[in-house]
Amino acid sequence: PLSEVRIKDYTGEWVTFEYKDYRHGGSKVLHTLKTIDFIGRLIRHIPSHYFNVIRHFGILASRVKKQYKEITDRVLESPPEVDEAPN
């Protein structure tokens, strides 16, 4: 997501923003674009009206969260099994 904090400069014609470049170890990079190009890139990230955004998947999915929570609660409540090693 792009927050206002990441926009470093706006001159009316140009927008300078900061992002993490994961190709180079996550270093922060400043990038300058024409305003119209910046808006074009920003609009690409807006989902269409009927597009369902998946916020949680896997064990955090609403469908299975309750089942996994019950299992993890049972596991965490039981004492750990300890194998007695022969002396």
- CB atoms near residue 87 (< 10 Å): 3
pLDDT > 70 in the chain, percent: 83
Q: Considering the domain boundaries, does residue 27 fall inside one?
A: yes
Q: Considering the domain boundaries, does residue 61 fall inside one?
A: yes
Q: Considering the domain boundaries, does residue 87 fall inside one?
A: no
Q: Considering the domain boundaries, does residue 28 fall inside one?
A: yes
Q: Considering the domain boundaries, does residue 84 fall inside one?
A: no
Q: Which pLDDT tens digit goes with each residue over 20-57?
A: 999 989 999 999 999 999 999 999 888 888 887 776 67
Helix (H, G, I), strand (E, B) or coil at 27: strand
Number of domains in the chain: 1
Amino acid of residue 9 = D
Structural domain harbouring 34:
4-77
- Could you tell me which residue, 29 or 75, shows the higher pLDDT? 29
Q: Considering the domain boundaries, does residue 42 fall inside one?
A: yes
- Could you tell me which residue, 69 or 37, shows the higher pLDDT? 37
Instruction: Grade residue 65 by pLDDT with cuts at 50, 70 and 90.
Output: confident
Q: Considering the domain boundaries, does residue 82 fall inside one?
A: no
Tell which residue, 46, 17, 45, 13, has the closest CA to residue 31: 17
Q: Considering the domain boundaries, does residue 69 fall inside one?
A: yes
pTM over 0.75: no
Q: Are 32 and 14 in contact (CB under 8 A)?
A: yes
